[in-house]
């Protein structure tokens, strides 16, 4: 079969979301009020169809050794299903965002009075179209096997979010945060794109399999990796760290999380972070055909990023009085925790005789994939609750005072916030506890004791500001200057997320197994020979043919 057609046959979920985005855009411009209100339903149907496509469509196996750190097919299926599941919950809590905008309300009111409909005033079609496009980009990151493909997928994930942030609230702060987000995102894209260019210059290819073959040939012959390749990989990792809000690309997080509407902030906390970590797995996979000594600069970079992200995030979180900023710095810290799992994964791939993929605690990639879902559920519930509380000025809850007494005024929202925060802390029986056990356990298996000690200390520090949120909800005097308005869709989405956080913590074996299977390499990797970038095919093929994937 033609390789291009073979690849396209795996993209039915992405094509479904793309078609849904186009239909949402057109429906939002309709002169009929009923059709204009349909984009949220169109987006829901598109996500359900995409999930069906993931479950039923054939997924191509990786054709080359080292195509990624893991079996590409299993990783793609897991990530796409996670995006569909969490995406549906995000859609529930974001379903009312366009209707709350003043310009949407004014345009609909003018039409109801017999005026001329102004399609530029209603944001429903654009909002849900960008929602689907960003999810589509994250899915494409999971199946990327080429640097060019990865770059386009990352940008498709990020570009719609800039617009979603700017249009999610009738506040100047939303536009300001979107501008900051856009320019910092452009800088990050330039950094990792330059890294991609250096990797191409060193290896002569943008395809993962050929990059992996080059690295393996260098390692097998005892040669050091070219400095150009190491520098390119470092720049690529630093640039992509913008998507996961990790140090040193974390500066935008607090302002953007504060400026965007709560449901959009929840979207930012999960979708770009998932795309970023999946991209890091893909980028580091070919490099892990080398040994640990050759990759020391990259391993140290990840180690420093993890420590700084955890420490900076939790320390600055202690100093905040704005709850959304607290959760923003919490997101930075959680990226640090997940980098611990990624470091363990790199150690397993580059160390002979390391823990195999089948062992739960030793598999850093499986732990990372599991924790992405755990974090997504917890942060979704927290931001959904914040979005339900409004001040007298019509703004969302921002400070601890705004959510004071929430557990007494609305017990269900209080319980959802309690479960979400406890899961973020990592206390049993919440899924966050199980996720941290796997993350830190994988690092211990590979000798990163000090890294785990730092992570545990940071988790203890984070409990201070998380418990302040719980204290404000349950032990502070109720604030009569705020109102609690809960739509059925938002309440359902937040409740499902909270129940999921508890159920997966108590009986999360199925998700653990799914993450383990997603992180497992193919049983037998058959490597197709390809010429060296300099054309020396005779010395190229025998050095890496019949070599099994290390991960």
How far is 268 from 331, CA to CA, in rounded Å?
Answer: 10
- In degrees and rounded to multiples of 5, residue 404 shows phi and psi of -60, 130
Report the SS3 class of residue 507: coil
How far is 65 from 298, CA to CA, in rounded Å?
Answer: 21
Q: Is residue 6 part of a domain?
A: no
Residue 40 class from Cβ within 10 Å (0-12 exposed, 13-18 middle, 19+ buried)?
buried
Residues 6+ apart with CB under 8 A from 158: 134, 137, 185, 189, 243, 272
Q: Is residue 387 part of a domain?
A: yes
Closest CA to 194 of 227, 133, 238, 161: 238
Are the beta carbons of 339 and 302 closer than 8 angstroms? yes
How far is 339 from 354, CA to CA, in rounded Å?
Answer: 19
| Cα distance between the two ends of the chain | 28
Q: Is residue 513 part of a domain?
A: yes
Q: Is residue 196 part of a domain?
A: no
pLDDT of residue 419: 96
pLDDT of residue 391: 80
Bridge partners of 435, per DSSP, are: none
Q: Is residue 257 part of a domain?
A: no
pLDDT of residue 211: 93
pLDDT of residue 64: 41
DSSP string, 389-438: EEETTSPBP-BTGGGTTHHHH-HHHHHHHHHHHHHHHT-TTSHHHHHHHH
Residues 6+ apart with CB under 8 A from 59: 10, 73, 76, 77
Measured over the CA atoms of residue 369, residue 370, residue 375 and residue 377, the dihedral's sign is positive
Output the CA torsion 65→212→355→292 (10° steps). Answer: 160
- Catalogue the E-assigned strands of 434-516: 482-484
Per-residue pLDDT of the chain (551 residues; tens, 9 = 90+): 566 667 777 889 999 999 999 999 999 888 788 888 899 999 999 999 999 999 887 554 444 434 335 555 678 899 999 999 999 999 999 998 888 888 777 777 776 665 666 676 778 889 999 999 999 999 999 988 899 999 999 999 999 999 999 888 877 778 888 999 999 999 999 999 999 999 999 999 999 989 999 998 988 888 888 999 999 999 999 999 999 999 999 999 999 999 898 899 999 999 999 999 999 999 998 888 888 888 899 999 999 999 999 999 999 999 999 999 999 999 999 999 999 999 998 888 887 655 444 444 457 888 999 999 999 999 999 999 998 888 877 778 888 998 999 999 999 999 999 999 999 999 988 999 999 999 999 899 888 999 999 999 999 999 999 999 999 999 988 888 888 888 889 999 999 999 999 999 888 778 888 888 777 765 433 334 344 444 443 343 323 333 333 33
The residue segments making up the domain with residue 502 are 291-521
pLDDT of residue 117: 67
Region of residue 226 (left: phi > 0; alpha: psi -120 to 50; beta: else): beta
Q: Is residue 410 part of a domain?
A: yes
Q: Is residue 297 part of a domain?
A: yes
How far is 410 from 402, CA to CA, in rounded Å?
Answer: 13
For 285, 289, 395, the CA distances from 295, given in Å and listed in that order, are 12, 10, 49
Q: Is residue 468 part of a domain?
A: yes
How far is 488 from 508, CA to CA, in rounded Å?
Answer: 27
pLDDT of residue 479: 82
Are the beta carbons of 80 and 139 closer than 8 angstroms? yes
- The total number of structural domains in the chain stands at 1
Region of residue 256 (left: phi > 0; alpha: psi -120 to 50; beta: else): alpha
Q: Is the pTM of this model over 0.75?
A: yes
């Amino acid at each position: 079969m033609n390789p291009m057609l073979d690849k396209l046959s795996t993209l039915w979920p992405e094509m479904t979301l793309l078609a849904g985005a186009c239909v949402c855009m057109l429906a939002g411009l309709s002169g009929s009020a009923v059709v204009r209100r349909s984009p949220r339903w169109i987006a829901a149907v598109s996500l359900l169809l995409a999930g069906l496509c993931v479950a039923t469509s054939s997924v191509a196996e990786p054709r080359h050794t080292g195509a990624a750190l893991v079996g590409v097919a299993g990783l793609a299926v897991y990530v796409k299903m996670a995006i569909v599941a969490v995406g549906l919950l995000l859609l529930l809590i974001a379903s009312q965002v366009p209707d709350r905008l003043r310009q949407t309300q004014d345009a609909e009111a003018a039409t109801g009075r017999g005026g001329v409909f102004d399609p530029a005033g209603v944001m429903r079609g654009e909002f849900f179209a960008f929602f689907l496009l960003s999810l589509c980009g994250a899915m494409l990151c999971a199946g990327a096997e080429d640097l060019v493909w990865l770059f386009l997928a990352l940008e498709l994930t990020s570009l719609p979010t800039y617009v979603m942030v700017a249009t999610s609230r009738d506040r100047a702060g939303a536009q300001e945060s979107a501008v900051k987000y856009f320019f910092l995102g452009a800088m990050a894209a330039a950094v990792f794109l330059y890294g991609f260019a250096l990797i191409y210059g060193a290896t002569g290819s943008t395809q993962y399999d050929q990059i992996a073959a080059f690295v393996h040939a260098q390692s097998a012959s005892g040669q050091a990796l070219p400095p150009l390749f190491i520098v390119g990989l470092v720049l690529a990792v630093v640039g992509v760290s913008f998507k996961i809000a990790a140090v040193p690309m974390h500066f935008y997080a607090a302002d953007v999380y504060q400026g965007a509407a709560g449901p959009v902030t929840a979207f930012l906390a999960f979708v770009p972070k998932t795309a970023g970590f999946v991209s890091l797995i893909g980028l580091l996979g070919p490099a892990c055909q080398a040994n640990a000594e050759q990759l020391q600069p990259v391993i140290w970079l990840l180690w420093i990023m993890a420590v700084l992200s955890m420490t900076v995030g939790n320390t600055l979180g202690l100093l905040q009085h704005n709850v959304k900023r607290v959760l923003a710095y919490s997101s930075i810290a959680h990226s640090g925790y997940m980098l611990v799992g990624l470091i363990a994964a790199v150690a397993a791939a580059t160390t002979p005789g390391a823990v195999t993929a089948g062992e739960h605690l030793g598999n850093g990639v499986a732990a990372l994939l599991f924790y992405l879902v755990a974090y997504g559920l917890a942060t979704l519930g927290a931001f959904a609750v914040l979005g339900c509380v409004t001040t007298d000025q019509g703004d969302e809850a921002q400070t601890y005072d705004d959510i004071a007494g929430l557990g007494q005024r609305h017990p269900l929202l209080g319980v959802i916030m309690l479960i979400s925060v406890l899961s973020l802390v990592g206390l049993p029986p919440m899924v966050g506890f199980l996720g941290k056990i796997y993350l830190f356990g994988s690092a211990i298996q590979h000798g990163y004791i000090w890294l785990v000690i730092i992570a545990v200390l940071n988790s203890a520090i984070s409990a201070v500001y998380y418990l302040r949120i719980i204290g404000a909800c349950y032990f502070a005097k109720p604030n009569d200057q705020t109102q609690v308005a809960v739509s059925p869709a938002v309440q359902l989405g937040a409740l499902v997320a909270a129940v999921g956080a508890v159920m997966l913590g108590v009986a999360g074996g199925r998700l653990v197994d799914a993450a383990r299977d997603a992180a497992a390499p193919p049983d037998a990797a058959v490597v197709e020979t390809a010429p060296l970038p300099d054309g020396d095919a005779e010395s190229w093929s025998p050095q890496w043919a019949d070599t099994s994937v290390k991960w």
